[in-house]
Amino acid sequence: FTDLIKAGRIQSEFEPDLDVKFSMPPRGFFKTLLNLLIMAEECNHGEGKISVSAFEGNKVYTLELAARDKAGNNATAAKMFTWDLTPPAAGIVRPAAPPRINALPFLTGTAADFYGMFATSVSLRNISKGQCYNGAGSFNQACPYWLATSSDAASNWTYADASLNATLQAVNTWYLLLVKPIDTATNENTAYAGGVSSRTFLMDSQPPTAGVSVPADGGAYQSGALRGVSYPLSGTVSDP
């Protein structure tokens, strides 16, 4: 089917004298089929009229095409396709819960679709600044700002860059991570479930401080002066 129509003009069976011209999209048979159905709708000559609304989501169909040029040459082709209307799913593995961490050199997670995944992107927001990570060491982009990830054969995704960990560790603050999967039919999720495709976490890379009040540094004490309720050991601790 692709070889038949991708480069030239073909004769449509919907209208004998009508040349139909269209090009293949960069990915996904879904949009190609949709373009064909829309053209069939526009022909509107009774026979051959196809309603897009007649297709049920997530079912397999066979498209049969009959073409005839003005010299009377005929060609036929058939193609099976899935009318995929269901968005894929995605999850976050790292950062993990509980959401307090002191290092994050890379982000990882999962993605899945019943028919096939195309890509996964992430958006990382500094909540206090209200801006998103640009992929090069700064939080200076309007949110969401989507960054491409790499994926393995099972669609598990990973995001990393040379500046990520140092940028996060520079300030103790809260961040919001969103994950957007896209399947081969270009469906994508539009809702981000907390703890699944979104996660809020605290980057806490600065150590706490501690001090001893009693005993005093270099002090001298008699036996029994540093024990019990009357003479307790004491000090202070704090963490940003």
pLDDT at 33 over 60: no
Nearest CA to 185 out of 83, 112, 89 is that of 83
Q: How confident is the model at residue 132 (pLDDT cuts 50, 70, 90)?
A: very high
pLDDT-above-70 percentage for the chain = 76
pLDDT (tens digit per residue) in 199-220: 999 998 878 889 888 888 888 8
pLDDT of residue 42: 42
Q: What is the DSSP letter of 230?
A: T
Residue 208 carries which side chain, given as an amino acid letter?
P
Name the residue with higher pLDDT: 25 or 235. Answer: 235
> Residue 96 is encoded by which pair of tokens?
């993990």
Sequential DSSP letters for 33-77: HHHHHHHHHHH--STT---GGGPPTTEEEEEEEEEE-TT--EEEE
pLDDT (tens digit per residue) in 36-79: 544 444 444 344 555 667 778 778 888 888 888 889 899 999 88
Q: What is the mean pLDDT of residues 21-28?
A: 41
Confirm if 111 and 181 have CB atoms less than 8 A apart. yes
pLDDT (tens digit per residue) in 160-185: 999 999 999 998 999 999 999 999 99
pLDDT (tens digit per residue) in 77-125: 988 888 888 899 999 999 998 788 999 999 999 999 988 999 999 999 9
Q: What is the pTM of this model?
A: 0.68
Nearest CA to 187 out of 112, 132, 125 is that of 112
pLDDT of residue 50: 58
- CA 151 distance to own-chain centroid: 11
pLDDT-above-90 percentage for the chain = 45
